[in-house]
Amino acid sequence: KIFVIDDDESVRRSLPMLLESMEFEVETFPSSEDFLNREPFNGTGCILLDINLGGKSGLELQEELINKQYSLPIIFITGKGGVPESVRALKKGAVDFLQKPFDDQQLLDAVEEAVAKSHTIRKEFDELKKLQGLISVLTERELEVFKYVITGMLNKQIAEKLNIAEHTVKLHRGKITEKLGVKSVAELVRIAEKAGIKFPSK
**Taking CB under 7 A as the criterion, which residues in 173-192 touch DNA?**
173-174, 177, 184-185
In the complex with a copy of itself, which residue's Cβ is closer, 36 or 108?
108
Distance CA 74, CA 90 (A): 9
Q: Counting contacts by CB under 8 A, is residue 99 touching a copy of itself? A: yes
CB of 121 to a copy of itself, least distance (A): 17
Decide: is 202 part of the binding site for a copy of itself (CB under 8 A). Answer: no
Is 25 in contact with 33 (CB distance < 8 Å)? no
Could you say which of a copy of itself, DNA, none residue 84 binds, taking C-beta under 5 to 8 angstroms by partner kind? a copy of itself
Confirm or reject binding of residue 87 to a copy of itself (CB under 8 A).
Answer: yes
Q: Interhelix angle for 104-136 vs 166-180, to 10°?
A: 140
Q: How far apart are CA 161 and CA 105, in angstroms?
A: 62
**Which of DNA, a copy of itself, none interacts with 160 (beta carbon under 5 to 8 A by kind)?**
none
- Contact region with a copy of itself (CB under 8 A), list: 17-25, 35-43, 85-93, 127-135: 85-93
Rg (CA), the chain: 24
DSSP state letter for 44: S
CA distance 63 to 58: 9
Q: Does 140 bind DNA (CB under 7 A)?
A: yes
DSSP assignment of 123-161 equals HHHHHHHHHHHHHHTS-HHHHHHHHHHTTT--HHHHHHH
- Chain residues binding DNA by CB under 7 A are 139-142, 154-156, 162, 164-165, 167-168, 170-174, 177, 184-185
- Chain residues binding a copy of itself by CB under 8 A are 81-84, 86-87, 90-91, 96-97, 99, 149-153, 182-190, 193
